[in-house]
Chain A
Amino acid sequence: MIVDVNTFLGQYPFRQVRCTTAAAMIDHMEAHGITAALVGSLHAVFYRDAQRGNEELLEAIHPYPDRLFPIGTVNPLYAGWERDLRWLTEKGNVRAIALMPEHHGYRLTDDHGQAALKQIADTRLPVVLTQRLEDRRQRHHWDVAADLTQDDLVAVATAHPTLRMLLINWVGLNAEKLRAAGLRGRCLIDFARLGVVGTKDVPRLIEVLGPESIAFGSHMPFDYVTASLVKLANVAGLYADDFERIAWKNAQSFFGLPLPLKG
């Protein structure tokens, strides 16, 4: 069984992506042996009113309650975001809350970011922080979002010591700094941009933060799912004892996914 913690649903404004519907996403997951996915809304990233994107996401994945688990997105600069956050938590049954500060026009460390992080921590849901959606070197000239930085990540982890974090699509993470910021045991990191062999990013994170800190993530629909499956296959060979944790159990426990998932 595999649970994918790094997926998005919807259209992307700057290039064509495949699998833009829930049905197509399910087909793609089945073709790659992926049982379930945490899924965020791309429309919530790009709409002025993120909540409309959340509503579209929840409607789209409604037919797949045991396969697709929603991530809500809030924009703390927009009217009514606190009400949206309550609704997502109480009615939307989301498993986590994403912040997209670069796309919504604030920083994690400014007043808006701090307010959102505090309220998310109060919900006890994890926050989802995506370092980037695509590489800056190919960006559309309307795409001005910079990558999130580890310095900001460490600052907010320190400032919000109970907040759990899903870190997706990150590269260049310094495991020691994350541990010093108190993230051991309260973060989950996907390896869509990290290496198991070669660069050995994943072994370094496991050594410092423990195997409970790592989860499978593909960055679907942006990236080839098989790129991350090769890494998972190397986890299976090199870390046989921890394979199931990294493939799905860490995600299940971090997000409280209902059992049994169909394998």
Chain B
Amino acid sequence: MSTFPRRTFLKTSTAAMATVALGLPGSRNLSAQDASPQSPPRDWPELPGLPKGWRSIRKLDAHNHVMQGVHKPGADWSAVERTVEAAQVLGITKLFCSRPLTGGVMAPIEAVRDANDSVLAAMKRYPGLIEGYCFVQPGNGREALDEIDRCINLGMIGIKLYNQFKYNDPAVYPIAEKCIDVKIPFLGHSAYLTDPKIKATQPKTSNALEFGELATRYPDLLLILGHINGGGDWEWAIRTLRDFPSVYLDTSGSVLEDDAIGLCVRELGHHRLLFATDQTMEGGVGKILGADLTDEQREDIFSRNFQRILDRRSK
């Protein structure tokens, strides 16, 4: 058996993103000359099975997360740093992140603000790379709307809802109306769960039909069905979305099944698809590279479709 030098994990400088040092004794290091937020490593070998220059294609990750509470002094930033490193390596230009409260918890507004403060801290630490979604719970009522105002005024670009309420619940309507008023996207956690045990653990997760009901009520809402491959029957979700043409969907999730992206394009058209990873970063990039797409379609999905959504607010 060969002796392999002990490897430390990739470590990112916590200073500006222009300086990145990946400590991998005995292996290739990514240096400031290799990469910056806008320039992935230039001299890494190409593989014949991937499109040439794939790392340099502009990519906006429309669904990602700040995985830790990082806004308090002495916070552990390692999970955020790993996400940032991965983005650099993969040529992801911007990460649109939220920090939802999960587990079916309906938390007080203070906990919601605390979660959003971590996203704001990450935006401050990685300006130009990390952008924010404001997480809200409709059950917080007026305070949820105030939290949207606070976060948008501090530079966030949209809102993220998790599974505290079904999206066809009237409690969600004021949130949707707020999004229309300020022209921001509404990204929602989704799944059509077929496993009864898993479904029982998140009974208020919305499926594509419930997204459709919200979209029908609010045709001007910039509604994004989160992670088409985030678990659940994605074929059912895609078929359902045919009937709701105003709903966008993001491509993220840990399921990397062929030919999910191709089916989305054939059934829904590529303009409704937004590249995203939801932390499955290599696979998330890889499945867009592997789908049967024209170069123009691929670039639209990687960045232009979402950019058009972001640009609506400035018009």
Interface residues of A (CB under 8 A from B): 2, 15, 17-18, 31-34, 134-141, 184-185, 192-193, 195-200, 203-204, 206-207, 210-212, 219-234, 236-243
Could you tell me if B28 and A185 are in contact, using CB atoms closer than 8 angstroms?
no
**B65-94 CB contacts (< 8 Å) to partner A:** 82-83, 85-86, 89-90
Q: Which of B28, B41, B90, B235 has the most CB of A within 10 A?
A: B28
Looking at B102-110, B148-156, B277-285, the stretch in contact with chain A turns out to be B277-285
List 8 tightest A-B contacts by C-beta distance, closest first: A226-B290, A32-B49, A227-B286, A137-B231, A237-B44, A33-B48, A198-B86, A33-B49
**B218-252 CB contacts (< 8 Å) to partner A:** 231-235
The answer, among A134, A227, A237, for a CB contact under 8 Å with B287, is A227
Could you tell me if B4 and A198 are in contact, using CB atoms closer than 8 angstroms?
no
Question: What are the residues of chain A within 8 A of B48 when measuring CB–CB?
Answer: 32-33
Could you tell me if B231 and A135 are in contact, using CB atoms closer than 8 angstroms?
yes
Question: What are the residues of chain A within 8 A of B82 when measuring CB–CB?
Answer: 197-200
Question: What are the residues of chain A within 8 A of B26 when measuring CB–CB?
Answer: 241
**B1-48 CB contacts (< 8 Å) to partner A:** 1-2, 4, 6-7, 9-10, 22, 24, 26-28, 30, 41, 44-48
Question: What are the residues of chain A within 8 A of B7 when measuring CB–CB?
Answer: 203, 206-207
Q: Does B257 contact A (CB under 8 A)?
A: yes
- Contact A229 to B50, CB < 8 A, known contacts A196-B282, A238-B22: yes
Question: What are the residues of chain A within 8 A of B54 when measuring CB–CB?
Answer: 230
Q: Does B265 contact A (CB under 8 A)?
A: no
- Contact A211 to B286, CB < 8 A, known contacts A135-B255, A136-B195: no
Could you tell me if B47 and A198 are in contact, using CB atoms closer than 8 angstroms?
no
Could you tell me if B45 and A233 are in contact, using CB atoms closer than 8 angstroms?
yes
Could you tell me if B4 and A211 are in contact, using CB atoms closer than 8 angstroms?
yes
Q: Does B200 contact A (CB under 8 A)?
A: no
- Contact A227 to B256, CB < 8 A, known contacts A137-B232, A210-B1: yes
26 contacts between A and B (CB under 8 A): A2-B47, A18-B259, A32-B49, A33-B49, A134-B257, A197-B282, A198-B83, A203-B24, A210-B4, A222-B257, A223-B257, A224-B258, A224-B287, A225-B258, A227-B282, A227-B283, A228-B286, A230-B54, A230-B282, A230-B289, A232-B47, A236-B47, A237-B30, A238-B22, A238-B27, A239-B27
Interface of chain B: mostly helix, strand, loop or mixed: loop
**Min CB gap B13→A, angstroms:** 16
Could you tell me if B194 and A139 are in contact, using CB atoms closer than 8 angstroms?
yes
The answer, among A15, A31, A197, A236, for a CB contact under 8 Å with B281, is A197
Query: Which bracket fits the contact residues of B?
Result: 35 or more
- Contact A141 to B194, CB < 8 A, known contacts A226-B49, A236-B44: yes
Question: What are the residues of chain A within 8 A of B45 when measuring CB–CB?
Answer: 233, 236-237, 240, 243
Could you tell me if A207 and B6 are in contact, using CB atoms closer than 8 angstroms?
yes
- Contact A221 to B258, CB < 8 A, known contacts A136-B195, A237-B89: yes
CB nearest neighbor in A for B233 = A138
Give complex CA distance A203, B85 in Å: 14
**B289-315 CB contacts (< 8 Å) to partner A:** 289-291
Q: Which of A137, A223, A231, A234 has the most CB of B within 10 A?
A: A137
**B124-155 CB contacts (< 8 Å) to partner A:** none
Q: Does B216 contact A (CB under 8 A)?
A: no
Question: What are the residues of chain B within 8 A of A185 when measuring CB–CB?
Answer: 1
**Min CB gap B265→A, angstroms:** 14
Give complex CA distance A184, B2 in Å: 11
- Contact A200 to B282, CB < 8 A, known contacts A137-B231, A230-B90, A240-B27: no
Question: What are the residues of chain B within 8 A of A198 when measuring CB–CB?
Answer: 82-83, 85-86, 279-282
Could you tell me if B256 and A137 are in contact, using CB atoms closer than 8 angstroms?
no
**Min CB gap A174→B, angstroms:** 15
The answer, among A139, A221, A225, A234, for a CB contact under 8 Å with B49, is A225
